[in-house]
């Protein structure tokens, strides 16, 4: 096929030997199957912000590191340079997350290179060597749904132990190869310790998994791993091998209004008594 303009520089510089075919075009990027260093890989070309369909980026950008104060000021002012820097930070988030998660043992596509808005990474394939299907494209048995759900909960725990919350995890960004689920699409990944929205994003990710797999195994709809996972993480006790129950129930005690009023009245009476004692 004709080389897309976005990949011409990488072909000229020898990072890509040949563009084989387009793979998919989504809300954030276009992906191509390429030949690189003699291997079949994929090239993810990020779309410009005005052509991207991803909303509420500000929620995900909180806590992300920038190179210097000049970059931070430009991003705050939303100048032309600032928007360019925002794009750079947005794209780098996925690259950094992939390297970090790959090193932590999470099943994500292995990254190879990132150059001028193009990410070269592993092509996840099925047992026939073709591009692996998305989880959403499969019909699962009850047993396989339980198995995949259990595996992915462990992967989310491993991600959280690495300090990362996916932020947009669902059946649409999980591929399934011959060995099971592989998590993809991480430009919106957030720093668990630096983003105030991380707990709610984690819970939403986990709930998305329960809702999807609950179609095939309804008992999973009753699980509550998100809050339990975050509570253990906050306590500093979360490890990749930590065994969650999924039965977490948040205990909410109703306020004892009568007791509070007694305390207020006692304090008021003490204050009045002290006042009279001072005047005697």
- Across the range 45-71, mean pLDDT stands at 59
Burial of 75 (0-12, 13-18, 19+ CB in 10 A): buried
Average pLDDT over residues 188-216: 95
pTM of this structure = 0.79
| Averaged pLDDT for residues 16-20 | 96
pLDDT tens digits, one per residue of 59-118: 656 655 545 555 545 445 555 654 555 666 667 889 999 999 999 999 999 999 999 889
Strand partners, 191: 164
Distance separating alpha carbons of residues 72 and 57, to the nearest angstrom: 16
User: How many Å apart are CA 17 and CA 33, to the nearest integer?
Assistant: 11
Percent of all residues in the chain with a pLDDT value above 70, rounded to a whole number: 74
Contact (CB, 8 A) for 97 and 11: no
**What number is the average pLDDT over the span 46-70?**
58
CA distance 9 to 15: 9
Lowest mean pLDDT among 83-92, 161-170, 174-183, 202-211: 83-92
How far, in Å, CA of 98 to CA of 146, rounded? 26
| Least confident piece of the model among 33-37, 97-101, 223-227, 244-248 | 244-248
Query: Model confidence over 247-268: pLDDT tens digits?
Result: 887 644 444 556 556 656 665 6
Task: State the CATH number of the domain containing residue 122.
Answer: 1.10.510.10
Q: How far apart are CA 210 and CA 212, in angstroms?
A: 6
In a domain, 105, yes or no: yes
CA distances from 212 to 109, 179, 199, 201, 219 (A): 22, 20, 20, 17, 12
Q: What's the CA gap between 7 and 171, in Å, rounded?
A: 29
The verdict on whether 126 is a catalytic residue reads no
Name the H helices within 14-129: 57-61, 69-77, 80-103
Number of domains in the chain: 1
Select which of 177, 185, 266, 280 is catalytic. Answer: 185
Q: What beta strand segments (E) does 5-142 contain?
A: 18-25, 29-36, 39-46, 111-115, 118-122
* 137 flagged as catalytic: no
Comparing 48 with 166, the larger pLDDT belongs to 166
Q: Cα 130 vs. chain centroid, distance in angstroms? A: 26
Decide if 245 is inside a domain: no
Residue 115 within any structural domain of the chain: yes
| Euclidean distance between CA atoms 254 and 51, whole angstroms | 49
> Is 267 a domain residue?
no
Do the bridges between strand 111-115 and strand 180-183 make them parallel or antiparallel, or are there none, so unpaired?
A: unpaired
Question: How far is the CA of 58 from the CAs of 10, 45, 75, 127, in angstroms?
Answer: 31, 22, 11, 39
Angle at 102 between CA 97 and CA 104, to 5 degrees: 95
CB 31 within 8 A of CB 24: yes
Residue 265 domain-assigned (yes or no): no
pLDDT at 251: 47
Contact present, 152 and 184 (Cβ < 8 Å): no
Count, residues in the chain: 280
Query: Taking a C-beta distance cutoff of 8 angstroms, is the pair 83, 57 a contact?
Result: no
Residue 36 lies in a domain: yes
Domain that holds residue 130: 13-235
State the catalytic residue, choosing from 127, 168, 266, 269. 168
Q: Is residue 114 part of a domain?
A: yes
Look at residue 88 and tell me if it is in a domain. yes
pLDDT at 39 > cutoff 60 = yes
Tens digits of residue pLDDT in 203-221: 999 999 999 999 999 999 9
């Amino acid at each position: 096929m004709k080389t897309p303009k976005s990949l011409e520089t990488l072909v000229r510089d020898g990072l890509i030997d040949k563009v084989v075919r387009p793979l998919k075009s989504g809300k954030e990027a276009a992906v191509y199957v390429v030949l690189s260093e003699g291997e079949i890989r994929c090239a993810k070309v990020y779309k410009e912000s005005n052509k991207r369909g991803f909303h509420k980026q500000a929620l995900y950008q909180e806590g992300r590191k920038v190179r210097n104060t000049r970059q931070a000021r430009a991003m705050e002012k939303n100048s032309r340079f600032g928007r360019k820097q925002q794009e750079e930070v947005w794209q780098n988030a996925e690259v950094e997350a992939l390297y970090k998660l790959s090193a932590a043992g999470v099943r994500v596509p292995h990254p190879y290179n990132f150059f001028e808005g193009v990410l070269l990474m592993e092509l996840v394939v099925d047992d026939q060597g073709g591009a692996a299907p998305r989880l959403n494209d499969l019909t699962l048995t009850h047993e396989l749904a339980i198995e995949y759900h259990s595996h992915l909960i462990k992967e989310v725990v491993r991600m959280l132990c690495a300090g990362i919350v996916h932020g947009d995890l669902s059946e649409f960004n999980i591929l399934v190869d011959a060995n099971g689920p592989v998590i993809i699409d991480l430009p919106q990944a957030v720093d668990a310790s630096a983003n105030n929205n991380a707990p709610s994003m984690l819970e939403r990710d986990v709930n998305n998994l329960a809702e999807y797999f609950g179609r095939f195994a309804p008992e999973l709809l009753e699980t509550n791993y998100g809050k339990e996972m975050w509570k253990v993480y906050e306590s500093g006790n979360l490890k990749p091998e930590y065994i969650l129950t999924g039965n977490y129930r948040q205990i909410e005690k109703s306020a004892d209004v009568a007791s509070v009023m007694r305390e207020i009245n006692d304090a008021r009476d003490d204050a009045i008594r002290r006042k009279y004692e001072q005047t005697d």
